[in-house]
Amino acid sequence: MDEKKGIFIGTQEAIFKAYSSDIRDELDNLPGIMPGYYDADTIISNPGLFKNTEYIFSTWGMAQLSREQISKCLPSLKAVFYAAGSVQYFARPYLECGVRIFSAWSANAVPVAEVTVSQIILANKGFFQTLHRDGAIWTEHDTGCPYPGNYDTPVGIIGAGMVGRLVLKMLKAYRLRALVFDPFLSEEAALALGAQKVTSLQELFAKCQVISNHLADNPQTAAMLDHTCFDVMKDNAVFINTGRGRQVVEADLINALKDVSTRAAVLDVTYPEPPVEGSELYTLPNVFLTPHMAGSLGNEIARMGECMYNAFSDFTAGRSNPCEVTEDMLKTMA
């Protein structure tokens, strides 16, 4: 790499979490990495400083720039290596400028899928509805237990993007009946993932014991999960959301949970996030909130930096890499 051809965008703290010391050492050994950690304001204010930049290494906190700003401040930029998941919030202007985008979405999908599968397995056992908390009376389960367990139980997956597909692959280790809703997925592809394709969300919600959301986060999917879905849930069903909250009409979900108190919702994401002060999501006994922790955290974050270093190595060697994101892919990515 020639002089000053690569930069880090993001805070030092975020970069250090995403790129391990070993990976940073590898990058620092390349002669073209500019020292320091930059943000959008610095780039916009000093366009001449970055005119030769060809590569960006980033993670959460990637600079959101317009096409005009990219063309003016980063005219030589060839590729962005983003050690995090969704690129929806920044990618389009870069792609429109001909910059190639690589995202660690596949690496970030691993912990999300792991958390989701664990929650599905627990939900089928009635874990959330019978969890002993807030002074609740201990109740023994018996042969009349309303929870089906994990044998031949229908589980619904909404969206077969990276996370949804990985969840379906992991569920193959269990004797469950996976159903999937995704207009972009063929019946043959669904069968290859060990799932049966359904043609409506309402069918999925009505048939499945557990329903897990992995829809792409875009304007077309906003408020897609409403009362027509939640009102047909089984009386002891569980809705899981480790994807994005914008697809859920919060009031409709709350009403469905209040109407049938034996239903449950396990929400790692909401919209807005966190829920507004006073939201019943905080107080309903059949809602279980976690603070957007299904994605990479702790040691898991370094997996994404390693993924992007491998993508960079492939890119500079002229090899293809499965982590590349195209403009067309943004239509269906979470």
pTM of the model as a whole:
0.85
* Residue 78 near residue 53, CB atoms below 8 Å: no
Give the Cα separation of 101 and 95 in Å (integer).
7
**What tokens does 311 get?**
């993508």
Residue owning tokens 């067309």: 328
* Residue 73 near residue 56, CB atoms below 8 Å: no
Residue 21: per-residue pLDDT: 94
Residue 51: per-residue pLDDT: 93
The sign of the torsion formed by the CA atoms of 203, 205, 207, 212 equals: positive
Task: Give CA 131 to chain center in angstroms.
Answer: 27
Of the candidates 133, 137, 135, 179, the residue with the CA atom closest to the CA atom of residue 159: 179
* DSSP-derived 3-state class of residue 197: strand
* Residue 160 near residue 177, CB atoms below 8 Å: no
Could you give the domains of the chain? Answer: 6-106+298-331 (3.40.50.720), 109-289 (3.40.50.720)
Residue numbers in the chain where pLDDT is lower than 50 = 1-2
**233: how many CB neighbours lie within 10 A of its CB?**
23
Pairing mode, if any, of strands 55-58 and 6-9? Answer: parallel
Q: Is 318 left (phi over 0), alpha (psi -120 to 50) or beta?
A: left
**95: how many CB neighbours lie within 10 A of its CB?**
19
Please calculate the CA angle 147-192-233 and round it to the nearest 5 degrees: 30
- DSSP labels for 263-326? -EEEES--SSSSPPTT-GGGT-TTEEE--S-SS--GGGHHHHHHHHHHHHHHHHTT---TTEE-
**What tokens does 92 get?**
């389009």
Residue 260 neighbours by CB under 8 Å, 6+ apart: 233, 235
Residue 20: per-residue pLDDT: 95
